A and B are shown apart, each in its own frame.
Chain A
Amino acid sequence: MDEEKEIIAKAKKGDKSSFEKLVLKYTKGLYSFVFNILGQQEAAQDVVQETFTKAFSNLNSFNTSKNFSTWLYTIAKNSAFNYIKVNKKYDFREADESISQDKNPEELVINREASRALVRSIDMLSEKYRTLIYLKYVNNLSYEEISKTLNISKSIVESRLYTARQKLSILLSGGE
C-alpha cells in the first residue's frame, strides 16, 4: 500500500504514467463492480471510463491519508447510480447475449437488484467500516496488511469486520 501511496503522490503532481498504473490495477475490479450494478457491458465500460476520468481530474482533491480504493469506488458507485437515474427509461432488459446464455433474464434482474441493494447498504456504513470492506474485498488484504495500512491492531480489524458484516446483514434484511 505504501507503493500505491507513492504512485498516487506522483500522479497528483501530474505524472500521467503513474495514473496509468492505477488504471491497470483497478480496472478489472471496478468493471466487475459497475457491471454488477448495471448489468450491461457497454454501460459498465462507459461508467468505468467516466470514473477514471473523474478520478484523474479530481486527484488533487483526494486526501492521501485516506484509502484510495474507497474513494475510487465511491466515484464509481455515484457514477453508476447517476447513470441509472439519467437513463431510467432504459431498464437494461436486453442484457448482453454472452451473459444471457448462462442465466435467464429474471435471474439477471434479481442479481442486479441484489447488487444494487448491497452497494447501497455499504454506502450506509460509516467510513471506518466501509474502508475495511474495500481493503478486504477490493485490495484483498490480510488482517496483518489492513492493520499496517490503517495503523490499528489486528483484533480491531477483526472486530470491525464482524460489526460491518453484521450491520450489512441487518441493512439487507430491511432493518435500520
Chain B
Amino acid sequence: MSGEADAIIIGSGPGGATVAEVLTRAGWSVVIMEKGRNHLLDHDDMTKPSGDYSNDEIKFTSRYFLGPDPLTEPRAFRLNADEGEHTHVGEVNSIPTTVGGGGTHADGKVPRFREEDFRTHSLLGPQPDAHVEDWPLDYEELEPYYAEVERAIGVAGRAGANPFAAWRSGPYPMPPGAPMYGATLSSTAAEKIGLHPYEAPTAANSIAYDGRPACNNCGFCAFFGCPIHAKGDPVALLTKAMATGRARLMAETYVSRILTNGRRATGVEYIDAAGAMHTMDANLVVVAGGAIETPRLLLLSGLEHPSLGRHLMVHFQTIVVGHFPALSLHPQKGRSVTHVHDDAMAQDDAARAAAKDAGVPWIRGGLVEHSGGGHTIMSARHTPWGRAHAQAMIAGDLRDHMWAFIMQGEDLPYATNAVDLSPSIRDARGYPVARVTYEPGRHELAASKHHGKILQHVLEEMGAEYVIHTSSPGVSYHGIGATPIPESRHVIGTARMGDNPDTAVCDRWGRVHEWDNVIVADSSVFVTATGYGPTLTLVALASRAAHHLADSKPMGPVPGGAVTGENAPSGAASAASAN
C-alpha cells in the first residue's frame, strides 16, 4: 500500500494524540495506528466521544476492558538477571492498550516538573550504579508547551497553591474541583507538621470546558474510563485531530515493525484486525507506545543501541494507610485524589541525614497523593469469607475508614532495570513480548523508609487508630505479603534523550539518533523520572517535538484565566483571573 499521509503515528495515547493534534492543526495529514480497541471515540463519528465507559468495577478491574489482556498480550518479569529468564508471565505495569492509551484510565493528575528536575546531575550530583544526567533542555524551553497542553486538554488548578512549583506564563484554564472530605482532613494534618498540601492539578473539568461537561464526582476515576468524558486527556486532542479531516485512526492495528533503509524509515509493517499483514509507506514515523512497548517495537525493528530499553523507571510507590474507625471518609465520592504535596522532593537536613545513613549521596521522594479506600468488590476480596463477611462489609473498614498517602518515589535510572524481548514468551500474533527486569535500589528503599515515617506521622496527627506502611513493588521489610512486580502505571526512560548519540537513543527533539525520520513521543525519552507523574511532561515534549517538525508555534496559555463554557460557578471568573 502506498503512503497515504505525511506521518504515521504509532499509538493513540497522550503522546501520539498530542502529535496528531499539533500536526493536523498545522495542515499535516496523519494516520494513527493503535493496536487496541476503540472504546473512546464514537464509532460512527470519531470527532465525538463514545458511550462505552461506565461505573462498572467488573469491566474495568476484573475483565481487562482497557487492555492489555494478559493471555493474548502478556509481559514477562524478573527482578534481575540472576533470576533466570523470568519469574512471572502476565500483567506487568499494564498501561491500557486501547484508543487513548494511558490517558483513559488515569485520574488525570498532571503536575509539571520544576526547573531543578531537568538538572538533577548538576544540582545534586551522581549516584552509584545509576546514570543520573541532566536533560538536554530546561524548564524555560518547555514551559510554553506545558501552557499549550494544559489549555488543550483542560487542566483545573490554582497557580501559586504549591510553594515548590515552577513559574508559569499563565493561569490554569479552570479552578480546582471540589476537595474530597478525607483530603481536607489529611491536608490539615499535613500542614500541622509543616508540609504544604495543595489542590492537585487535574485534567478533569471542574466546569464545562471545551464542549465537555464538568466532572460530577462519581468516584470511578482512577483505573476507569470517564463515562461523561470530563477527563480531557487525550479525548480532547484526538477529537480535535479527527475534526480537521486530516487524521485517520486505525484501531486494532498492530505495528509489527518499522521498515528502514539505512538511516531512513520507509514505512511500517502492520497487522489489521482480521489478522492480515500489510505495509504502509511514510516519510515520518512517530512512535508513542509507552516506555515498554516503544523499546519493544524499536528492538523488533532492528534498532541497536546500548541504552535502548535500559534505565527503566516506574516510580517506587510508598503506600502508608491509616485506619479511622470513627470517620466516614466516603472516598467513592470525588476524583480519586484531590490533594497532593511536594515536600518529599525537597532537600533538607533530615533527608540528607537519611541519605548518609543509607550510604547514598542524596535521596529524593516524590509527589505524595492523598487518597482513600477501595471500591466495593476490591474491598470485599480482602474481607473474610463465611459468617464474618457481611458484618465486615457493613463495617466498611477498607471502603470507608481508610485514608492513605501514596508517594510516587523517584526511581533512579539504573542500566540494569530494563525492557528487552522475552526469549520464549510470545503474544497471540507470535511476536516476542516485552520482558521487564526491575529491582529498586538503595536510593529508592532509603527514600521510602525516610518519607514513609513522615507520612505515618501525618496520619497519626489526623487521628489514625493504626497505620500500615507498604510499597509497590513490595519489599521484605514491610512484613506484609507483597508482589515484587511493580504495579505503577508510570513507565519511563527506556529510550532516553540526549545530545550524545553514544549514550542517548534520541536527540533533544525525540528523534532517534540512528534514524533520520523516526520520533519517539512518549515517556521513553525521559532522562530522569523525578517524583512527578509523567503525563503532562510527555505531552509537553510531544507538543514541542511536533511543533518543531511542523515549524509552528504553541498557542500559549489561557489568556487572563478566563472561565469558559456553561455552568461556570458564580465567582469563578474573578477567582480564575486572580490565578
A and B associate in one complex: no
Which residue numbers of B lie inside 8 Å of A, CB to CB?
none
Which residue numbers of A lie inside 8 Å of B, CB to CB?
none
